[in-house]
Structure 1
Amino acid sequence: MSDDVRIEIEAVPRAGLSTDRLRQAVAGHRQVLAELGVGDAEGLIVPHAAALGHDPGPAAPFRATVFDPIGNRAVELRGTLDRPEEAEVRPSAFRPQPSAGELTAAAAVLRADPAFPPGDDVVVYRPMPPLADLENPDGTTVRRPTLGVYTPSDPTGVRHRIVAVDLTHRAVDWTPAGIDLRMHHDCEHTVPEGVDALADRGGPDQVHVKVLRGDTVLWDLLVVRPRASAPQNPGVGGGVELRNVRYRGRLALRQAHVPVLNVEYEQGTTFRDDASFETRFSAAGSDPVGWGWRLCTSPPRTILERTDSDSGNFQGVAFHHDGEELRIVSELAAGWYRYASDWRLGDDGSIRPRFGFAATANPMTCKVHRHHAYWRFDFDIGGAADDVVEQIDAGPISPDPVPVIRETSRRRADGRYWQVRDKSSGHGYRIHPGPYDGTADAYGVSDLWFLRHHPAELDDGNPGPRDRAAVNRWLNGESIDGTNVVVWYAGHYYHDQAHPQPHQGELIGPELTPF
């Protein structure tokens, strides 16, 4: 870290209803208990309910999904923070991803099963898909987290098996329907960490960060760690999330995260990936506010930099300033996938969102596939109102920016970039596509969307088909000329392990530059 740059980190609470407060409201909400068919709130999975909107007050709206793991059913609550007992209740098809505790419990059931293979080299890991629920004849379903069993010395050569575990009945299904279960090959050489090695040691969910050079505050922002990032319940997180991002005192971004992350294989398999499950990486330094937040003395190293290990000494969010920019980084796990969630905040006001892709030993990723990461940038240049999006198609003669006045989507093209500008001050940010960000295919849908801000439009709900991003559902022709503007930006990463592209191993993401 540069001698004349200081990083100040302070833990701050998130706005919303705590788990205990929402559970209290659920316990007194007869419709919730009736819809789930339970007698009390004990045993229900009740989340922290984040407040929606800008600068939420005591009566801010919230949405939260309450889940019964025994009945494998959920309801969504829509209400206000001051009266959660009066929240509207709706049925929900959302099923939360298995938690670390749930996976550890499932692993104990699996290891006790008579068919569990012998040997000290057996690893029980988190595979894809995360759930293999079973439908009963009466239409009810049984929740069954999946586990991968990696047996490198199996005498039959079967290295990977994917099983489903019914925790309620403590039963293992070694051949869950619809999953390719017996695999004889590895697509990567890095042995995955076992599920019992991924314990969360606690620590704050959110911190206030300042970057100071001398007496000048360059950056002032909130950082939310992946495990608490929006959107969740419903939703599967957004990686490292930034909020209320100010450069030299001027507001630039109200919120920035990756709410949609998916992958499609050429043979047709698709996944919607979890962007909230933190895994370990290497980071040396101190923890000024407790576990999960590390101020580094050298650059942190995710699996992209290590390449030989799925372990590490840290789990959470790491900060490092190299003299020119602040790096904010975490590593995520979605099954065998490993993702680097990375932000670079330059001393010159530039913002470089980055996302990286890797994997541990698995039977899938050597098949040709494409990852798609969708950033959501809630631009509030100097404030929430009076912003405009403009498109520039650069050429031999510098053209005038063309305002985009209605909600729409766009594809990237050579020389094309966009800017979000505050009409009053003239200040703004230009959005230049990154060199490895690709262009959308049919599955990727598009490259950018320009939308009017609505507090609940944090997540597309994964309505399908095939886990495809559904940001288009919000395009309804609203004006975005002089309003509160949200930009969705998609990066598309092509991975062919047999024929590597020059960009493989690189991080994708746009360049946001101030003007």
Structure 2
Amino acid sequence: MAVKVIIEKVARPGLSAQQVREVAGAHPDVLAHLATVDTERLIVGDAVALGHDPGDDAEFRANVFDPVTNRGVELRGTLDRPEQALVLPTAYRPNPGQEELAAAAEILRADPRFPAGDDVIVYRPMPPLADVENPDGTTTRRPTLGVYTPSDESRKHRIVAVDVAGGTVDWSPAGVAAHHPGDCESHLPVGIDPLRDRGGPDQVRLRVVDGDTELWNAIVVRPRASSPQNPGDGSGVELRDVRYRGRIVFRQAHVPILNVQYEEDGVTYRDWQNEETRFSATGDDPVGWGWRLCTKPPRTILERADNDAGNFQGVAFHYADGELRIVSEIAAGWYRYASEWRLCDDGTVKPRFGFAGVRNPRTCMRHRHHVYWRFDFDIEGSANDVIEQFNDTGSTIPQPVPIVQEVSRKRKAPARYWQITDKASGRGYQIHPGEHDNTTDPYGVSDLWFLRHHPAELWDGNPGPNNQARLNRFLNGESLTGTNVVVWYAGHFRHDQNDPEPHQGHIVGPDLIPVP
């Protein structure tokens, strides 16, 4: 009997963006801090319930931002009493959304300095913002846009900053000018306009069934709704409540942090992972737009030739040879990433992340990508976990070393792999590093973090001027023996176009192998 892949709509606990807006508009502390009375211009998002098995009184956090005053606050409350939420000022600034980018592009194209020609492309560059400080201490929010002019041999790329509220364009914003007169990468960008979002659910329940046996049961969240957001910048394809043969494996698994570091000039970026972009997927959409069961392998930019096009945005599923691939392509500026999970019939989980890009003025410079997975293991339940590091001692059997309190680790000798098991049953998973995952440099901080679970530790907070991962702030010496454990796992990829080894479309990620 053939294996069946089934996806079904499922509700998500939390507050909708409209509910967050209504709470903010009625909260005097929000309006006082933002110094605004126009709540319709506020940038808000959904507020997902925090914690395991959230109920009606679950906690939530939500960011509310005014792009005109360039101020933001964070709401911290409970779903049953959102109007009583605590209001705290925050330095978090959300990236421009599609409406804000479209308004900026309209101003840009109306500028008399905008180049003529039908081949000019307006695209989303890095960094996403180029705010400017005013003499009175306030700041003006300015989304950035890239202007690609193929016919201009002397300067194909320009990066500009647009004051949407003021209707002006800065053609030479400080610190974000194009760094290369030609093209880096071969893929031609499609511009700032994605495929029209036709709706569809934010998440689905996935079931993989072999005859009368349910192999996998999980909630899959598409990138546009992945947590953390508001505050936070998404996490690609997110898995929740993952069960293999009826037993819980993960409560949550995703990639909350993604960084880029340039070696030559020290420029760094914190990439967002909630912008779905085009890729090729052939099949049916049983629950609506954004979810596709494929009849043949989907093709992201890693498999395509020289374009940034495609017929689909969202999450695609394809099963073959004992393995289900869950695939999406996401964009951050000129970067394109493949966010993927592979669920095998034997219980193995293969998280994968691929790196590519479209034409731009920077990626021909040597740089490193740092991707940070977060695995909230719930082996046999949400507590009673044990962590061990298996060292290579020269014998045929690696030597286990218990890890009893919160700590970070690097992938270097004698460590070979790590194991998380339930203290009573002995069941669990081993984490085996991928062949190309490499080890950290000083900017990447570390390779693994073993932490005690806390609902709010989904993101490292405002990363600061160099965007470096701040996961060490979660290390406070808490015990890990017989507790609820979270593991952060980092992969590091060096992209060098002058290196003879293939770089375009490189993929990293560990293998998570079940311990029966």
TM-score, normalised relative to structure 2: 0.97
Contact 2:253 2:373 in 1 (8 A): yes
1:310 & 1:502 partners in 2: Cα distance?
20
Cα drift, residue 435 of structure 1: 0.3
Native 8 Å contact 2:369 2:493 kept in 1: yes
Is 1:427 paired with 2:424? Answer: no
How far the C-alpha of 1:425 sits from its partner, in A, is 1.2
User: How many Å separate the matches in 2 of 1:57 and 1:488?
Assistant: 26
Could you tell me which residue of structure 1 aligns to residue 117 of structure 2? 119
Match of 1:130 in 2: 128
Q: SS where residue 303 of structure 1 aligns?
A: coil
Q: What is the identity, as a one-letter code, of the residue corresponding to 1:167?
A: V
2-structure distance, mates of 1:335, 1:505 = 17
Q: Offset of 1:504 from its aligned partner?
A: 5.4
In structure 2, relative to structure 1, the CA distance for the partners of 1:364 and 1:437 (3 Å cut) is same
> Which of 289, 293, 296 is the equivalent residue of 2:294?
296
Shift, 1:93, TM fit: 0.6
Are the aligned partners of 1:146 and 1:165 in contact in 2 as well (CA < 8 Å)?
A: yes
1:73-104 deviation line (CA, Å, top 9, x unaligned): 10001111111111111101111011122212
1:160 and 2:154 aligned:
no
* Partners of 1:158 and 1:182 within 8 A in 2: no
Contact 2:496 2:503 in 1 (8 A): no
Matches within 5 A, 1:190-205: 190-205=187-202
- Which letter maps to 2:443? Y
Q: What is the SS of the residue equivalent to 1:348?
A: coil
Q: Which residue does 1:404 correspond to in 2?
A: 403
Superimposed CA distance per residue, residues 327-372 of structure 1 (whole angstroms, 9 cap, x where no aligned partner): 0010011000000001000010000000000000011111111000
Q: Which residue of 1 aligns with 2:366?
A: 368
Give the whole-Å Cα distance in 2 for the aligned partners of 1:213 and 1:333: 35
**2:443 counterpart residue number:** 443
Give the superposition deviation at 1:202.
1.8
State yes or no: 1:321 paired with 2:295: no
Alignment of 1:180 onto 2:177: yes
Q: Is the 8 A contact 2:121 2:190 kept in 1?
A: yes
Aligned residues of 2:16 and 2:46 also touching (Cα < 8 A): yes
Match of 1:66 among 61, 64, 67: 64
Alignment check: 8 A CA contact 1:302 1:331 kept = yes
Aligned letter for 1:434? G
Amino acid at match of 1:210: R
Deviation at 1:413, TM superposition (A): 2.2
Q: Does 1:169 align with 2:169?
A: no
Shift of 1:178: 1.4
Could you say what secondary structure the match of 2:421 adopts? Answer: strand
| 2:510 alignment counterpart | 510
Paired letter, 1:217: E
**1:149 corresponds to which residue?**
147
| 1:481 paired residue number | 481
Partners of 1:31 and 1:357 in 2: CA distance: 43
Residue segments in structure 1 that go unaligned for 5+ positions in a row: none
Which amino acid letter does the alignment assign opposite residue 401 of structure 2?
A: V
Answer yes or no: is the 8 Å Cα contact 1:100–1:199 preserved in 2. Answer: no
Aligned partner of 2:259 in structure 1 is 262
CA deviations over 1:456-503 (Å, ceiling 9, x no partner): 000001333501101000000000100000000000001110114356
Specify the alignment match of 2:236 in structure 1: 239
Q: How does 1:340-351 map to 2 (within 5 A)?
A: 340-351=338-349
Alignment gaps of 5+ in structure 2: none
Query: For 1:32 and 1:503, how far apart are their aligned partners in 2?
Result: 47
| Aligned counterpart in structure 2 of residue 230 of structure 1, from 210, 227, 232 | 227
Change (3 A) 1:182 1:149: farther
2:497/2:503 contact within 8 Å kept: no
Bigger mean CA offset, 73-82 vs 461-470: 461-470
Listed one character per residue, the Cα deviations across residues 356-402 of structure 1 (whole Å, up to 9, x for unaligned) are 00000011111111000000000000110101111101332414422
Contact 2:452/2:478 (8 A) holds in 1: yes
Distance in structure 2 (CA, Å) of the matches to 1:403 and 1:430: 14
Is the CA contact 1:203–1:292 (under 8 Å) kept in the aligned structure 2?
Answer: yes
Aligned residue for 1:507, secondary structure, equals strand
What is the CA–CA distance in structure 2 between the aligned matches of 1:313 and 1:463, rounded to whole Å? 35
SS in 2 for 1:276: coil
Give distance in 1, aligned partners of 2:179 and 2:478.
Answer: 50
| 3-state SS in 2 of match to 1:304 | coil
Q: What one-letter code is carried by the residue in structure 1 that aligns with 2:464?
A: G
Contact 2:179 2:362 in 1 (8 A): no
Separation in 2, partners of 1:488, 1:462: 18
Measure, in 2, the Cα distance between the counterparts of 1:503 and 1:423. Answer: 42
Q: Percent identity of the aligned residues? A: 66
Which residues of 2 match residues 447-462 of structure 1 at below 5 A? Answer: 447-462=447-462
Which of 389, 392, 406 aligns to 1:391? It is 389
Residues in 2 aligned to 1:77 and 1:477: alpha-carbon distance in whole angstroms: 29
Give the distance between the partners of 1:13 and 1:500, measured in 2 at CA.
Answer: 48
Work out the CA distance in 2 between the residues paired with 1:514 and 1:500.
36
Name whichever of 392-401 and 90-99 sits farther off. Answer: 392-401
Q: Which residue is equivalent to 1:215?
A: 212
Equivalence for 1:37: 35
Cα 1:504–1:186 shift into 2, 3 Å: closer
Show the counterpart of 2:12.
14
Change (3 A) 1:389 1:508: same
- For residues 4-56 of structure 1, what are the alpha-carbon distances to aligned partners after superposition, in whole Å with 9 as ceiling and x for unaligned? 01111111121111112222211221111111111252211121111100000
Query: Residue 462 of structure 1 contacts residue 469 of structure 1 at CA under 8 Å; is this kept in 2?
Result: no
3-state SS of 1:23 partner: helix
Question: Aligned to 2:75, which of 74, 77, 86?
Answer: 77
Distance in structure 2 (CA, Å) of the matches to 1:181 and 1:398: 53
How far apart, CA to CA, are the structure 1 residues paired with 2:137 and 2:41? 22
- Residues in 2 aligned to 1:215 and 1:105: alpha-carbon distance in whole angstroms: 53
CA contact 1:386–1:422 (8 Å) conserved in 2: yes
Is the 8 Å Cα contact of residues 353 and 508 (structure 2) preserved in structure 1? yes
CA RMSD in angstroms, aligned pairs only? 1.3
Contact 1:163 1:181 in 2 (8 A): no
Amino acid at match of 1:272: R
Letter in 1 for 2:127: P
Aligned partners of 1:246 and 1:252 also within 8 Å: yes
- Specify which of 197, 201, 206 is matched with residue 203 of structure 2: 206
